[in-house]
């Protein structure tokens, strides 16, 4: 049977009102009474009725997180971090997958047409500024990414700076013909990819190199070019490439496998760098050089801004936060670290009696 406030009050020898004040964090309770009630709460294993509490506050205690995918390692890790951040604010996260579909993104932006949630975090692939201007729902909303942020709080990594950093790294190790595998989800214009490509172009220009459109191959799964075919397209160019900049780590892993199948050595023949910092990149041979977005900062800033909107003035000026990132050079650009092999030894066998 669920422990009631009355049960706690009887155990502590105080009124039900005093127990309620302690549970709800009211300050006008003496330290002595608070200590007695706290002991009783712990002894009886009391758990507050969150539904009743949130109804009194006029809130549900739940927020929504809508992502275009939850299968890939980047979005799954980001969702995990957002859930952990929300827990610090005693919020429950409902996770939805939009698949980059405009209708589903519009449904999220309109608060799922329900009063069950206090706020939303949305990573849109198709939703545009016009859609947001037409938005009738007033539920607090925070956007992830650079797709659109007009009039709405947003958190994004600077994709132009990411493109520059990855390209500059390849140039710094002497690479000149840098191919690009650009990810374009089949149902979006690929805004982030366009911005990242601009960073690539800027880095080339700063190094005195001309941009060659033939070096850029779009990967558009499931309906477009497969990463293996795209990698072959770069390898078949009349003038050989000496590096590949992949716009995400999953593309980079496929490209590296394809290079191995085609007889190329990474990075001796062709260096490879990706973006996202997924865990698998550190477990392969050679390990994958990558750009690591600060996913912890993205999660923390998104939840922080959403909580502030839920609790504060919804009419305050909208904010755009640029999250940081780190260039992580590994073996796919810097080469394998030669380590001296240790001789294998076997434990001595104990003599057995015949």
Cα(219)–Cα(264) distance, rounded to whole angstroms? 21
Cα(98)–Cα(80) distance, rounded to whole angstroms? 17
Task: Give, in order, the Cα–Cα distances in Å from 35 to each of 18, 25, 45, 188, 284.
Answer: 12, 13, 15, 57, 54
Same domain, 25 and 144: no
Q: Are 244 and 179 in contact (CB under 8 A)?
A: yes
∠ Cα 346 349 350 (to 5°):
155
Note whether residue 344 is domain-resident.
no
pLDDT surpassing 60 at residue 180:
yes
pLDDT of residue 43: 84
- Tell me the per-residue pLDDT of 100-138, one tens digit each, with 9 for 90 and over: 888 888 888 877 666 678 899 998 887 877 777 777 778
Look-up: residue for tokens 């700076």?
161
Same domain, 227 and 183: yes
Structure tokens at 302: 């998104």
pLDDT of residue 61: 84
Note whether residue 284 is domain-resident.
yes
For residue 153, what is the enclosing H or E element?
A: strand 153-157
- For the chain, helix, strand, coil in percent to 5 are 40, 15, 40
Note whether residue 350 is domain-resident.
no
Domain total of the chain: 3
Q: What are all long-range contacts of 226-233, with beta carbons under 8 Å and residues at least 24 apart?
A: 227/181, 227/251, 227/254, 227/255, 227/258, 228/254, 228/257, 228/258, 230/181, 230/255, 231/181, 231/255, 231/258, 231/259, 232/258, 232/262
Same domain, 14 and 64: no
The partner residues of 322 in beta bridges, in order of sequence, read: 156
Same domain, 65 and 142: yes
Note whether residue 347 is domain-resident.
no
pLDDT of residue 56: 54
The mean per-residue pLDDT over the stretch 234-258 comes to 96
For residue 121, what is the enclosing H or E element?
A: strand 119-122
pLDDT of residue 239: 96
Which 8-state DSSP code applies to residue 336?
P
For the domain that residue 284 is a member of, what is the CATH number?
Answer: 3.40.50.2300
Structure tokens at 9: 């009050």
Look-up: residue for tokens 């929300």?
86
pLDDT surpassing 70 at residue 345:
no
Most confident of 6-10, 26-30, 322-326: 322-326
Note whether residue 142 is domain-resident.
yes
What is the average pLDDT value for the chain, to the nearest integer? 85
Structure tokens at 114: 């329900």
Cα(95)–Cα(74) distance, rounded to whole angstroms? 15
Same domain, 178 and 137: no
Would you call the peptide bond into 112 cis, given omega within 30 degrees of 0 as the criterion? Answer: no
Share of the chain above pLDDT 90, in %: 49
In the three-class reduction of DSSP (H, G, I as helix; E, B as strand; rest coil), residue 277 is classed as coil
Same domain, 281 and 210: yes
Q: Are 227 and 255 in contact (CB under 8 A)?
A: yes
pLDDT of residue 350: 47
pLDDT surpassing 60 at residue 223:
no
Same domain, 165 and 282: yes
Give the residue ranges of DSSP H helices in the chain: 5-12, 16-23, 31-44, 50-57, 73-87, 102-109, 129-133, 159-172, 191-206, 227-235, 249-261, 295-311, 331-334
Instruction: Please state, as a whole number, how many other Cβ atoms lie within 10 Å of the Cβ of residue 111.
Output: 21
Note whether residue 121 is domain-resident.
yes
Look-up: residue for tokens 């500024």?
129
pLDDT of residue 208: 97
Note whether residue 341 is domain-resident.
no
For the domain that residue 32 is a member of, what is the CATH number?
Answer: 1.10.260.40
Confidence grade of residue 339 (pLDDT, cut at 50, 70, 90): very low
- Tell me the per-residue pLDDT of 57-102, one tens digit each, with 9 for 90 and over: 567 788 999 998 888 889 999 999 999 999 988 889 999 888 888 8
Confidence grade of residue 185 (pLDDT, cut at 50, 70, 90): low
Q: Which of 131, 111, 109, 81 is nearest to 302 (CA)?
A: 81
Which 8-state DSSP code applies to residue 344?
P
Q: Are 273 and 170 in contact (CB under 8 A)?
A: yes
* Main-chain phi, psi angles of 324, to 5 degrees: -85, 175
Cα(62)–Cα(307) distance, rounded to whole angstroms? 11
Note whether residue 343 is domain-resident.
no
Range of 81's domain? 59-156+296-323
């Amino acid at each position: 049977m669920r422990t009631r406030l009355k049960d706690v009050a009887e155990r502590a020898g105080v009124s039900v009102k005093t127990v309620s004040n302690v549970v709800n964090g009211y300050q006008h309770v003496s330290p002595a009474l608070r200590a007695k009630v706290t002991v009783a709460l712990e002894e009886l294993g009391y758990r507050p009725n969150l539904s009743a509490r949130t109804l009194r506050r006029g809130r549900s205690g739940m927020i929504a997180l809508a992502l275009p995918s939850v299968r890939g390692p980047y979005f799954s890790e980001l969702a995990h971090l957002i859930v952990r951040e929300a827990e610090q604010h005693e919020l429950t996260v409902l996770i939805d997958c939009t698949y980059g579909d405009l209708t589903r993104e519009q449904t999220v932006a309109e608060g799922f047409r329900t009063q069950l949630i206090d706020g939303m975090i949305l990573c849109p692939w198709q939703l545009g500024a016009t859609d947001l201007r037409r938005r009738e729902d007033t539920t607090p909303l925070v956007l992830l990414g650079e797709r659109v942020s007009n009039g709405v709080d947003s958190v994004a990594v600077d994709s132009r700076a990411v493109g520059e950093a990855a390209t500059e790294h390849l140039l710094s190790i002497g690479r000149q013909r840098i191919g690009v595998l650009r990810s374009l989800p089949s149902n979006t214009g690929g805004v982030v990819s366009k911005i990242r490509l601009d960073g690539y172009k800027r880095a080339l220009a700063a190094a005195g190199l001309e941009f060659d459109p033939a070096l850029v191959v779009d990967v558009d799964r499931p309906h477009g070019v497969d990463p293996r075919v795209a990698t072959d397209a770069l390898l078949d160019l009349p003038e050989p490439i000496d590096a590949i900049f992949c716009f995400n780590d999953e593309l980079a892993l496929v490209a590296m496998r394809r290079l191995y199948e085609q007889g190329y050595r990474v990075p001796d023949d062709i260096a490879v760098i990706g973006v996202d910092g997924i865990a698998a990149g550190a477990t392969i041979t050679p390990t994958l050089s990558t750009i690591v977005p600060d996913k912890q900062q993205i999660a923390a800033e998104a939840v922080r801004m959403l909580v502030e909107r839920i609790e504060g003035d919804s009419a305050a000026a909208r904010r755009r936060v640029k999250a940081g990132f780190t260039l992580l050079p590994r073996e796919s650009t810097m080469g394998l670290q030669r380590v001296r092999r240790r001789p294998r030894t076997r434990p001595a066998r104990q003599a057995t009696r015949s």
